[in-house]
Amino acid sequence: MKKVYYLFCLVLFFLFVFQLDLLAKPVTFVVDDELGRNNVSFTSDAPIELIVGRTTKIKGKLIIDDSLDLKKSSVDVLFNVDLASIDTGIPLRNEHMRDNFLETKKYPEAIFKVRKISPDSPAKLAEGQPLKLLASGDFKVHGITVKKDIPVKVTYFKESDFTHNKFKHGDVIRIQSTFDVPLEEHKIKRPEVIWQKLTDTVTVSVDAYANQSSL
């Protein structure tokens, strides 16, 4: 009789958990700030010259479980950066970067599609608490896609007067990351005009805000 009772309780428990999963709804956060407050930069620190390029043209979408648990299977993340908008501070150098280096007419964007998120413990976003994680996915630049693991720090802010300084409504997630991109991996050749001024690997830094979508 006790075995039947325990079995019954076990079945009820799994049904309860399953029902909770069904009730869970995905929440969408969008990276798309028309005011240009998001920042993406690349740095090439060659012996002869330090080159830093910047753009605010980053877009993205994060779809996560409404429990804010990043280990849930419903996590879906995609980022796009407009490479043609990168500004190094010198117009002629910008032209060389676009036409001869990144070839932005053929390859206008850098794209990162996240396939897996491996957060530190705990994995659940909490108000104002930075969470370090490893985002693994497909990184595409210059028409070449490579598998890449990118370290990311995310900080969640519930809608408040503080978040209203940046967005009119919705919760906010701040996304920060720094990682290296070897040019050879993406078959990017350094033009003769800048080859001595550009390193084989550039460092990319991202500081962006994702706002909860009202849709």
Domain ranges of the chain: 27-212
Q: Inform me whether the pLDDT recorded for 18 exceeds 60.
A: no
pLDDT for 20 equals 44
Question: CA dist 209 to 104, 105, 180, 213, Å?
Answer: 25, 28, 21, 12
SS (H, E, C) 81-128: EEHHHCECCCHHHHHHHHHHHCCCCCCCEEEEEEEEEEECCCCECEEC
pLDDT for 25 equals 79
Instruction: Give the tokens for residue 200.
Output: 């084989």
Over its C-alpha atoms, the chain yields an Rg (Å, rounded) of 21
pLDDT for 1 equals 52
pLDDT for 128 equals 93
| Mean pLDDT to the nearest integer, 104-117 | 96
pLDDT for 14 equals 42
Q: What's the CA gap between 149 and 134, in Å, rounded?
A: 6
Least confident of 112-116, 186-190, 191-195: 191-195
| Mean pLDDT to the nearest integer, 11-37 | 66
Q: What is the CATH number of domain 27-212?
A: 2.40.128.110
Shortest CA distance to 51 belongs to which of 193, 169, 207, 175? 193
In 10 A of CB 135, how many CB atoms? 26
pTM for the whole thing?
A: 0.83
